[in-house]
A = this chain, B = another copy of it.
Amino acid sequence: MEESQALKSLSALSDATRLRMLRFLVTAGEDGAPAGSIGEHAGAAPSRASFHLAALAQAGLVVPERVSRQIIYRVDFDALGGLMGYLIEDCCGGHPTVRACCGPAKRTGA
C-alpha cells in the first residue's frame, strides 16, 4: 500500500457517519448491505448516505454492486487489512521488545 492510498482510507474513516457505515458493513461480512439500510444504521438521510458511501468506495474501502434496484456495498477486506498492515509495517524495526507491540495486527506481507 502506498501512502496516498492509506491517507485516502484514513481520511474516509475520519468521519462519524462513514466510520459507522464501515463498521456496520464489517459485521455484515460477505453479504454486504444495501445503501438504504446502511444509511439507516448510520443515522444518515439517503442523500447523505449516498455521498458518504461514495467516499468510502472512492477510498477503496467498500465495493458497490447493483442488484436489481438496490446497490449492495461490501467491505473490501483486503484493503482494510492492507491499511492496518501499513500502519504497523516494520514494527519496532523488526526486533520486537518485551511488550507485545507488534502483537495486535501484525501481518508482514501486507
Is B104 in contact with A107, judged by CB distance below 8 angstroms?
yes
Let me know if A6 is at the binding interface, CB within 8 A. Answer: yes
Q: Give the residue of B23, B26, B85, B87 whose beta carbon is less than 8 angstroms from that of A22.
A: B87
**Is A38 among interface residues, defined by CB-CB distance under 8 A?**
no
A window 1-60: CB within 8 A of B: 3, 6-7, 10-11, 13-16, 19-20, 22-23, 26-30
Are A105 and B107 CB-contacts (below 8 A) given A11-B14, A84-B87, A92-B30?
A: yes
Residues of B within 8 A of A104 (CB): 77, 80-82, 84-85, 105, 107, 110
Q: Is the CB of B105 within 8 A of A29?
A: no
Q: Which residue of B lies closest to A107 (CB)?
A: B104
- CB nearest neighbor in B for A84: B105
